[in-house]
A and B are shown apart, each in its own frame.
Chain A
Amino acid sequence: MLRLENVVKNFGGLQALSGVSFRVEAGSITGLIGPNGSGKSTCFNVITGFYEKDGGDIYFRDENLEGLKPFEIAQRGLSRTFQISQVPEKMTVFENLLLAPKGQTGEVITNVFFKAARIEEETREYLEKAKDILKLLKLYDLRNEYAGNLSGGQKKLLSLGRVLLTEPTLILLDEPTAGVNPTLINDIIRAVKRLRDEEGKTLLIVEHNMKVISEICDKVIVLDFGRKIAEGTPREVQNDEKVLEAYLAGSSKKWDV
């Protein structure tokens, strides 16, 4: 589904990614972990085109993403969330979700006047989907609230919901449970698993919470100082010496089992 080959990214003199290669298999959930500053977020930004890479290749469904702009990559079915939730504050929860579907008829000015019926139909359809998602994420009661008034955790959920409405093939989640209250975490875990098991989606997740990782991931990739130091099932990786070392040396973040 997604293939990175020797991806390099530099910031000034600093090498944030030095030749990272891995694959994300279709229909799987892959975890991307590592101490702070190991290059996880950079990796996300390079895959989604927000950063220009300095070397290597990225293939999505066997198409090289070279030179594509972020929105073009997104249009190909690769959807992401951000570490710090990007939520337009003065738009309601509903509006936030309705923003998500790609290539809406009503996004073209002339269509607004000449294809009004189709726009209305689409909006109705999206609203129905949005309602289901909000109920799933327990945000339904807040549907007409400004997104700026949500808590940090609720914004995370909203971002997740928005990604679902883009009808993605591959979903990249950047720390989906950070700052989310523990009961909601279980909801997120359930939602993510359901995506894989019932809808056959593929996910790549950056996450600190190892409980979440071991519960949902089929495969885990560990980065440290911009290099891949381990790859395997959650169990294999947790017992890998290099991984333990990296975590103990590189960061105050402990294994959160």
Chain B
Amino acid sequence: MSVLQVILNSIIRASELALLSLGLTIVYDILKFANFAHTEYAVVGAYFAFILNVTLGLPIFFSAILAAIATGIFAILIDRVVFKKMRNANGIIVMVTSLGVAIALRNTVRAIWGASPKSYNVPLQAPIVTKYFRITPLQIWIIAVGAAAMVAFYILLHYTRLGKAMRAASDNPDLAQASGIATEKIVTAVWFIAISFASLGGILIGMETYLLPYMGFAIIIPVFCAAIMGGLGNPYGAMLGALVLGFAENFGLYINFGKLFNLGGLLHITHRALFIPTGYKPAISFVILIVVLLLRPRGILGKKEER
């Protein structure tokens, strides 16, 4: 595999992770709890798209958009039934509740669609192959959607009234009331944005591989790591975290650590190749998380101590 290919794979992974970790971090920012159901919403979104695309036969493009919207609304409904009643509760209480929601969602999906993998009805497209890399049109889409979502979020945060209100609510919930948009409306908007982005992420992952009820759990650790690395509650931090993780996961498996430790033959320790076994891919994000937490307990871009 060429270095260029590894870079490309890293960017693809980062785009998927960013779509998910961004939502996780803004929900944390506004609602002050770590939502352990976040990646399960992405799974729900992916299966919504499956209904539209496979069961109803809609093109995947429209299925994805409709499913993202539907899942956003679904998240608002769950909020009304569950989380709204806990607005003033301690973050740990809400977090544990979100764990309950996660377990219920994951297993509802499994009860309905079973545990076997499912695929979208997507026309097969030939990958673009060059001497140095190979990329499928779908992967180009993933990068494009990821990038577009980040830009859209930036515009939303800085150039709209809602964005201003969100930033105000993040700094000071009481002040936000004064800025004209009621806090509850901000919360609704945040759920919608966070979860529809997450759904897009889930759908894209589902398109690239396949759909599984456990795909949400499979990705929860890197998504949280990305968000924490950037400082929970910091949207740009989450994007940066996703990028770092995307590269770390791919380069972690690509780099020959045997060569690295040997300092190019300088130490004559060993000439054996020493790669991280693929089975340990999930461990990479964990190790990075621990290192980050040890060095910068509030994440790379985290806010410093509050006054």
Contact = CB atoms under 8 A, between A and B. Distances in A.
A and B touch in the complex (CB under 8 A): yes
Interface of A: 11-12, 16, 42, 51
Interface in B83-112: none
6 contacts: A11-B304, A11-B307, A12-B304, A16-B307, A42-B307, A51-B305
Contacts of A11: 304, 307
Contacts of B305: 51
Contacts of B304: 11-12
Interface string B263-307: 000000000000000000000000000000000000000001101
Could you tell me the dominant secondary structure of chain A's interface residues? mixed
A91 to B, nearest CB: 15
A42 B304 CA distance: 15
A60 B304 CA distance: 27
A11 B304 CA distance: 8
Contacts of B307: 11, 16, 42
A159 to B, nearest CB: 21
Sort chain B's interface into a size bin: under 10
A38 to B, nearest CB: 13
Interface string B62-90: 00000000000000000000000000000
A54 to B, nearest CB: 12
Interface string B182-210: 00000000000000000000000000000
Nearest to A41: B307
A51 B304 CA distance: 11
B63 to A, nearest CB: 46
A42 B307 CA distance: 8
Nearest to A51: B305
A205 to B, nearest CB: 21
B92 to A, nearest CB: 13
- By Cβ-Cβ distance, the 3 closest A-B pairs, closest first, are A11-B307, A51-B305, A16-B307
A42 B305 CA distance: 12
B204 to A, nearest CB: 38
A51 B306 CA distance: 10
A191 B305 CA distance: 35
Contacts of A16: 307
A12 B304 CA distance: 8
A233 to B, nearest CB: 31
A99 to B, nearest CB: 20
Nearest to A11: B307
A51 B307 CA distance: 9
A74 to B, nearest CB: 19
A202 B63 CA distance: 72
A19 B144 CA distance: 53
A12 B307 CA distance: 10
A16 B305 CA distance: 13
A11 B305 CA distance: 8
Nearest to B306: A11
A12 B305 CA distance: 10
Nearest to B305: A51
B6 to A, nearest CB: 38
A126 B305 CA distance: 36
Nearest to B307: A11
A90 to B, nearest CB: 11
A98 to B, nearest CB: 24
A197 B305 CA distance: 39
A144 B304 CA distance: 40
Contacts of A51: 305
A180 B92 CA distance: 31
A198 B14 CA distance: 67
Nearest to B304: A12
A93 to B, nearest CB: 22
Nearest to B303: A12
A174 B97 CA distance: 36
A16 B307 CA distance: 9
B87 to A, nearest CB: 18
A11 to B, nearest CB: 5
B233 to A, nearest CB: 17
A87 to B, nearest CB: 15
A11 B307 CA distance: 7
B256 to A, nearest CB: 42
A41 to B, nearest CB: 9
A127 B253 CA distance: 61
A46 to B, nearest CB: 12
Contacts of A42: 307
A67 B125 CA distance: 62
A51 B305 CA distance: 8
B160 to A, nearest CB: 26
Nearest to A12: B304
A11 B306 CA distance: 8
A16 B306 CA distance: 12
A244 to B, nearest CB: 27
B232 to A, nearest CB: 19
A82 to B, nearest CB: 14
